[in-house]
Amino acid sequence: MDPIATGIEQTPTVATGATVIFQFLGVVIFQWVPSTVITLLYTGNPPQGVEYYAAPYGPATAQEAIQYVHNASAPGTFEAFSDFWSLFTALSLFISLLFAILIVYCIIRIEQIRKHEREQFESAAHPVAARDVSRTQLRWNRIVEETGSDSEQNWRLAILEADIMLNELLDSLGYKGETMADKMRTVEKGDFNTIDLAWEAHRARNAIAHQGVQVALTQREARRIIDLYERIFREFKFIG
């Protein structure tokens, strides 16, 4: 029931506001649109029983446009719609706010997904461990044990094995070359923070491998060299 037509004052609510809005949409769809079509089809020769409203020609003010809509509306519809316009505006703002929040949420989630994808891509593009991680760790544990033994021969073997692991690390990082020295020459220091340690450890290994027992090796020196390899491996998480 139309509160304006009955003269009964009612407090606007969401339900009554929605009712008025749907009534207004019904008037637009089933009255205004057909009337417009009839006006276009029968311009200058209106059908019997159809009354035309004089539409403003040329530029019209907002007040003239509102007055035209008022005249073309069914009795009481425009007044009821005007009374609930503030409620309609509030509903529109609320829905727009929900969509804005949804858009912001989607943008944040997309950025989080992209960040996660970038991290996975970088991890896949820079492998830092051998395929068999447990075997790599097992080899390193054995090197540490040999360094802690009382045998100088074991210390030398531990350094040689650690250098082999360094060569495998360079291969897994994608560095190419016929020798380890060739591979390390292609390294950019910004991508390999411990490259200077790698050169120092590799030179010590070469001295031990090429000069043998002529190079004196103490357990303290062996541990120092192994510590260089360990710092390199931990930079790339080659060992745990």
Of 168, 160, 142, 148, nearest in space to 206 by CA: 160
pLDDT of amino acid 43: 52
What DSSP state is assigned to residue 191?
G
Most confident among 26-35, 42-51, 187-196 (mean pLDDT): 187-196
Please say whether the structural domain 133-235 has been given the CATH code 1.20.120: yes
pLDDT tens per residue across span 58-88: 565 666 666 766 666 666 666 666 667 777 7
Residue 117: φ, ψ to 5°: -65, -40
Q: Which two tokens stand for residue 122?
A: 């970088």
Q: Alpha helices of 126-238 — where are they, by DSSP H?
A: 133-147, 152-172, 180-185, 195-211, 219-235
The structure tokens listed for 193 are 């923070």
**In sequence order, which residues have a C-beta less than 8 Å from that of residue 70 and are 6 or more positions away?**
78
Please tell me the predicted confidence (pLDDT) of residue 54. Answer: 56
Specify the pLDDT at position 130: 45
In terms of phi and psi (left: phi > 0; alpha: psi -120 to 50; beta: otherwise), the region of 225 is alpha
Predicted confidence at residue 119, as pLDDT, reads 83
Per domain, the residue ranges of the chain are: 3-83, 133-235
pLDDT score for 205: 92
| Side chain identity, residue 178 | E
The per-residue pLDDT for 148 is 92
pLDDT of residue 21: 76
226 contacts 147 by C-beta, under 8 angstroms: yes
Of 5, 238, 42, 16, the residue nearest 129 (C-alpha): 238
Instruction: Say yes or no to pLDDT of 163 above 80.
Output: yes
Each residue's pLDDT tens digit, 187-215: 998 899 999 999 999 999 999 888 877 88
